[in-house]
Structure 1
């Protein structure tokens, strides 16, 4: 697996990965009816760097993530990231590889910390993965997310120094 910057030619693959996550409405605080154009504008926005995890031998994109400054001005030294793995690539280490890559890349870009602002507490696999990389839950936002099947669930703010 190779992690590289996303290119315009990757838009179809990125959409194929992020659409199921958006439509499910279980892990991102995005409108479940978000259009393809709006979703790609969000994921590939100029205010972030977007990457893909590619199995180049098979010609497949297995995951994608973006990295950006969490805040402007005095908070721009803290990175933020969002990750999505292709449904058929779940459990194959793609998210782990993307997280490791994002931490290394954030460090190389001069970020001093990374913060996830709104991790849905019911996304147990992601929470365990982020914790395995040294992220700590700084706070729990009670009933902050309207989960489509579980009702009102908590969201977590997770943080680690780089």
Structure 2
């Protein structure tokens, strides 16, 4: 059984603790199309959301940073009734249910905030762990953009668009 974890709103002081796993996940090139090689300062606006969005962190009982998620409207204006989100789990803490807890938190947040649905714009099709997780939380693949992601091992692979009506 995994030790308990809590999810809380990220504080700007959390960013230096998020950045190491943000940069390692981006450098691995398997799940995100963020620019590579971003410095601590350059990467900050790519992850730390401003209102109406929110960035949260998952920490264990001793304060160890396990992961983070960012969430907010998928599009401004007439698209702002649909939420979106992105998730990071520190590779050193994968397999502990952190991604599931962050996903459950995000779905609850979107409901509380009155969103009509949640759209994930770009889930790499070879990221089968994430695809299965989102499906288990009620998301459906509504389409796949073929060869839209340049994976370092698999070459050009598809990006799933996933959706859940709330």
For the superposition of Structure 1 and Structure 2, which TM-score range results when normalised by the shorter chain? over 0.9
Whether contact under 8 Å (1:22, 1:34) holds in the other structure is no
- Alignment partner, residue 62 of structure 1: 66
Match of 2:37 among 33, 42, 48: 33
Q: Secondary structure at the match of 1:149?
A: coil
For structure 1, the residue ranges without an aligned partner over 5 or more in a row are none
* Residue 95 (structure 1) aligns with: 99
2:83/2:119 contact within 8 Å kept:
yes
How far apart, in 1, do the equivalents of 2:49 and 2:102 lie?
Answer: 19
In 1, distance between residues paired with 2:118 and 2:105? 13
Whether contact under 8 Å (2:23, 2:37) holds in the other structure is: no
Distance 1:7 1:44, change over 3 A: same
Counterpart for residue 73 of structure 1: 77
- Alignment TM-score, normalising by the size of structure 1: 0.96
Deviations 1:60-90 (A, max 9, x none): 0101000110011111010000000011110
Aligned match for 1:51, one of 49, 56, 62: 56
Alpha-carbon distance between aligned partners in 1 of 2:12 and 2:149, rounded to the nearest angstrom: 32
Question: Aligned equivalents of 1:40 and 1:90: distance in 2?
Answer: 23
Q: Hey, what does 1:142 align to over in structure 2?
A: 146
Alpha-carbon shift at residue 34 of structure 1 (Å): 2.3
For the aligned residue pairs, the C-alpha RMSD in angstroms reads 1.0
What are the residue-to-residue correspondences of 1:2-17 with 2, within 5 Å?
2-17=6-21
1:121–1:154: 8 Å Cα contact kept in structure 2? yes
3-state SS in 1 of match to 2:41: helix
Shift of 1:37: 1.5
TM-score under structure 2 normalisation?
Answer: 0.93
- Other structure's SS at 2:55 match: strand
